[in-house]
Amino acid sequence: MRQHRGLTETTLDVYQPIVTELLTALGGDPRRYTAEALRAFALERARRHGLWRAKTVVGAVRAFLRFLGATQQCTPGMQYAIPGFASWQLSTVPRFLAADDVERVIASCPADGNGPRDKAVLLLLARLGLRAGEVAQLRFADIDWAQGLLTVSGKARRQETLPLPQEVGEALLHYLRQSRPPLRTPEVFTTVVAPVRPLTRAAVTHIVRAALRRTGIKAPINGAHVLRHSAATTMLRQGASLAGIGAVLRHRSPRTTAHYAKVDFGLLSEIAQPWPEVV
């Protein structure tokens, strides 16, 4: 998946425990897998989660079965035995934090050695809408200080350039000068105390969750992605176009960005038609 399909390490980290559990449940000989056993595993594994996580389970199992079929380790086409989960695009409202709550989250960073790092991480998430994995994978070579630009490696390893806001750049410099241990690694963000190592996607998510706990904010998503949604809704309410928001968030389809049009509840209430009276 890494070499031929270009999947990121973040996606592979999500797929690995699902595939590992499949091998544990059904055994290490794929030739003995039956459609019934595969369906039962996928349904049981997905039942523990919400819709989007369930779809991830289906995607991981199908991808693994396609690989097994292509390499003749199981009957080709077994991926079609895995049922899909129905969902309708744009059927929900994006889950986000109010602008004041976002500022409270950023301001909550502690005064200890973790504070400068956490603030820089939160600003990258909240101002540029980066994903947790993109923050964890940020390298020194990705920052063009002279031009004020940031290169982001997103989904499918697509590299795109974003402007580096002054606030974010200053937070990064403060972290690098005051808090980052002298670890010889290309990644910008590391742990502060031993064992010192680059941050993982899960560690970035933990930084957001810790900030939400400190502020007592009950977020609709208890993770880093809530700040990505919040960045998009803030840009929309400040007058940014959907095309501009899509460029910052690096959406491949305009339909994905159109999802955020529904957060302008004031405008929606103006154009909504009254409910017809029942005779």
| Among 225, 229, 250, 259, the one annotated catalytic | 225
Q: 139: helix, coil or strand?
A: strand
Clarify whether 260 is annotated catalytic: yes
| Among 131, 201, 250, 259, the one annotated catalytic | 131
| Among 53, 66, 95, 155, the one annotated catalytic | 155
- Do β-strands 149-153 and 159-163 pair in parallel, antiparallel, or remain unpaired? antiparallel
In the β-sheet with 149-153, what is the strand arrangement from edge to edge?
143-144, 149-153, 159-163
One-letter amino acid at 123 equals L
Clarify whether 157 is annotated catalytic: no
Question: Under a CB-based contact definition with an 8 Å cutoff, are residues 226 and 219 in contact?
Answer: yes
Q: 279: helix, coil or strand?
A: coil
Clarify whether 155 is annotated catalytic: yes
| Among 45, 117, 201, 228, the one annotated catalytic | 228
The sign one gets for the Cα dihedral 123, 127, 132, 136 is: negative
Question: Under a CB-based contact definition with an 8 Å cutoff, are residues 227 and 219 in contact?
Answer: no
Clarify whether 80 is annotated catalytic: no
Clarify whether 251 is annotated catalytic: yes
Clarify whether 209 is annotated catalytic: no
The sign one gets for the Cα dihedral 227, 169, 152, 262 is: positive
| Among 201, 229, 250, 251, the one annotated catalytic | 251
What residues act catalytically? 131, 155, 225, 228, 251, 260
